[in-house]
A and B are shown apart, each in its own frame.
Chain A
Amino acid sequence: MNPAEVHPTAFIFVGLTIGGALLSVLLRNILHAVFGLGIALAGIAGLFLYLDSAFLAAMQVLIYVGGISVAMVFAVMMAHTLGRRELLVGRRLLAAIPALGLTFTLALVVLSSRFVGSTGVRPDEATVLRSIGKQLLTEFNVAFEALSVVLLLAIIGAIVVAKERKH
């Protein structure tokens, strides 16, 4: 996409995403950082909406903003010692190494892949929804089922961990 074609609203969402991400990295109170992450995730949902994918935007809000962020807040509160303690600088330097590595890899992947140009036709959201559903259960069925097995394992693991703490 040519930068000149981008509508100004897109920059609001880009700003939200980057600002939220910065907040989540720079804030020293871990709970504030989680809420910063929530802002970044909401910004991404806005970008999906801007790119004409209302379904992805709704899913992003439902799963990441409403689900994952809340789960993270819960986790922070359950680990009660973390509540108001601030993170150490040394740990941050340690965390920077994998973060930079991941950023580098992702940038490499994005820059080296070839994107199919836009056809200029706005896809109808209903047909998009239908084809997502069809493809998930046909072409990508194996990946879909594998993901559900992984999630099931995660749930069982969580139950086992929670049960052990009780005794």
Chain B
Amino acid sequence: MFNQLFGNIWLVTLASGAVIMGFLTVNALFLVWLERKLSARFQRRLGPTEVGFAGTLQTLADAVKLLGKQLITPRNADKPLYHLAPVIVFMPVVVGVSLFPIDRQLMFVDLNVGLVLVFAFAGIGFIGIFMAGWGSNNKYALLGAMRAVAQNIAYEIPLILSALSVTLLARSMKLSAIVEAQSTLPYLLFQPLGAAIYLIGAVAETNRAPFDIPEAESELVAGFHSEYSGMRFAVFFLAEYSNMAIVSMVATTLFLGGYHGPWLPGYVWFFIKVYGLISLMMWFRWTFPRLRFDQLMSFAWTVLVPLSLANLMGTAVVLKVFRR
């Protein structure tokens, strides 16, 4: 998108990176406010009201506070891993956001293997979580990290399988082509089961309630980021809220028709769908109780994986019979 403005590839990369980082920061500030507001309303409270209109500047004030906080490094921490972890967790998020078609002409990178890349970069984040848990040298952090990685690996499989059924329909892994194929009807109508599996998997991938055992506060303090303070903690938080945006962007692209919609411009539709899905995930968080770890794992392996495999095979058979 910046190709017309700057010719140089390095400048383009730099400018795109800056735009994405800016978006991610604003996104996290907004989502933290939204989460606090929504959770308050679900519990018949008001939430933040004092700073700015309806408390909108509350998270900005929190961010300034976090910037000023002291950074504490545990004495027996595994220092290189401890310091690298927030970077490794955040880096793939920046790349992930750049892959989505926001409007017909508005996307940073359009690759033929865009869908594979999204999942590939999501995988790098797990290593960062592991580094954080191990580097902190704290049993709660380590337990949280192990839970997070086990859960993420388990739920990644149904997630990818349900996305694969969409590639069968669209006959492409190019995200812009998948969106274009839905110009008349969104794939949600052809893949209701796939979309449901994807949504469950997405909530689990972002480690949010009812799948938030990696940071179950009553058992594990704060899980893998227990020992992080100040801005380092904020980076984990930023990554978590950015990941919510990314999984919602994938769902919007795969099942909800991306930027397609009547009357309004494409990018408005894209963001309406993305933030609608995020609100749905927040609704889940404040409605459902947390699952136990073994329940969670057996649900992934005995229910979601077979269901998504059946969905993939069913899609392939139906396509083979009815197409051409």
Residues on A facing B (Cβ under 8 Å): 29, 31-32, 35, 38, 42, 54-55, 58-59, 61-62, 65-67, 69-70, 73-74, 77, 124-126, 129
The answer to whether B121 and A61 have CB atoms under 8 Å apart is yes
Residues of chain B with a CB closer than 8 A to A35's CB: 81, 127, 131
The answer to whether A126 and B112 have CB atoms under 8 Å apart is yes
The answer to whether B111 and A125 have CB atoms under 8 Å apart is yes
Residues of chain A with a CB closer than 8 A to B78's CB: 29, 31-32
Docked CA distance A77–B116 (Å): 29
Given known A58-B117, A126-B172, contact A74–B149 (CB-CB < 8 A)? yes
Given known A35-B131, A77-B146, contact A70–B81 (CB-CB < 8 A)? no
Residues on B facing A (Cβ under 8 Å): 78, 80-81, 111-113, 116-117, 119-124, 126-127, 130-131, 134, 142, 146, 149, 153, 172-174
The answer to whether A66 and B81 have CB atoms under 8 Å apart is no
Docked CA distance A138–B124 (Å): 33
Residues of chain B with a CB closer than 8 A to A54's CB: 111-113, 117
Complex partner residue of A55 from B113, B122, B123, B126, CB under 8 angstroms? B113
Docked CA distance A140–B113 (Å): 22
Complex partner residue of A69 from B113, B127, B134, B172, CB under 8 angstroms? B127
Docked CA distance A26–B211 (Å): 39
**8 additional contacts (CB under 8 A) given A32-B78, A42-B124, A61-B121:** A31-B78, A31-B81, A35-B81, A59-B116, A61-B117, A61-B120, A70-B123, A124-B112
Residues of chain B with a CB closer than 8 A to A42's CB: 124
Given known A61-B124, A67-B123, contact A73–B130 (CB-CB < 8 A)? yes
The answer to whether B119 and A62 have CB atoms under 8 Å apart is yes
Docked CA distance A108–B288 (Å): 60
**B121 nearest CB neighbor, chain A only:** A61
**A67 nearest CB neighbor, chain B only:** B123
Secondary structure of the B contact surface, majority rule: helix
Docked CA distance A55–B115 (Å): 10
Given known A32-B81, A54-B117, A126-B174, contact A65–B111 (CB-CB < 8 A)? no
Residues of chain A with a CB closer than 8 A to B121's CB: 61
User: Min CB distance, B230 to chain A, in Å?
Assistant: 24
Residues of chain A with a CB closer than 8 A to B130's CB: 70, 73
Residues of chain B with a CB closer than 8 A to A66's CB: 120, 122-124, 126-127
**A125 nearest CB neighbor, chain B only:** B112
Docked CA distance A65–B91 (Å): 14
The answer to whether B149 and A70 have CB atoms under 8 Å apart is yes
**B146 nearest CB neighbor, chain A only:** A77
Residues of chain A with a CB closer than 8 A to B81's CB: 31-32, 35
The answer to whether A62 and B120 have CB atoms under 8 Å apart is yes
User: Min CB distance, B161 to chain A, in Å?
Assistant: 14
Docked CA distance A73–B149 (Å): 10
9 pairs from A and B in contact (CB 8 Å cutoff): A31-B78, A54-B117, A55-B112, A59-B120, A66-B124, A70-B153, A74-B149, A129-B113, A129-B173
User: Min CB distance, A114 to chain B, in Å?
Assistant: 30
User: Min CB distance, A127 to chain B, in Å?
Assistant: 9
User: Min CB distance, A11 to chain B, in Å?
Assistant: 15
Query: Which residue, B111, B123, B142, B149, has most C-beta atoms of chain A within 10 A?
Result: B123
Docked CA distance A74–B111 (Å): 32
User: Min CB distance, A151 to chain B, in Å?
Assistant: 14
Given known A32-B81, A35-B131, A126-B172, contact A58–B113 (CB-CB < 8 A)? yes
Residues of chain B with a CB closer than 8 A to A125's CB: 111-113
The answer to whether B80 and A32 have CB atoms under 8 Å apart is yes
The answer to whether B116 and A55 have CB atoms under 8 Å apart is yes
Residues of chain B with a CB closer than 8 A to A77's CB: 134, 142, 146
Docked CA distance A153–B120 (Å): 25
User: Min CB distance, A72 to chain B, in Å?
Assistant: 10
The answer to whether A58 and B131 have CB atoms under 8 Å apart is no
Docked CA distance A59–B78 (Å): 30
Docked CA distance A65–B130 (Å): 13
The 3 closest A-B pairs by CB, nearest first: A66-B123, A125-B112, A62-B120
Residues of chain A with a CB closer than 8 A to B123's CB: 61-62, 65-67, 70
The answer to whether A65 and B112 have CB atoms under 8 Å apart is no
Docked CA distance A62–B121 (Å): 7
Docked CA distance A74–B153 (Å): 12
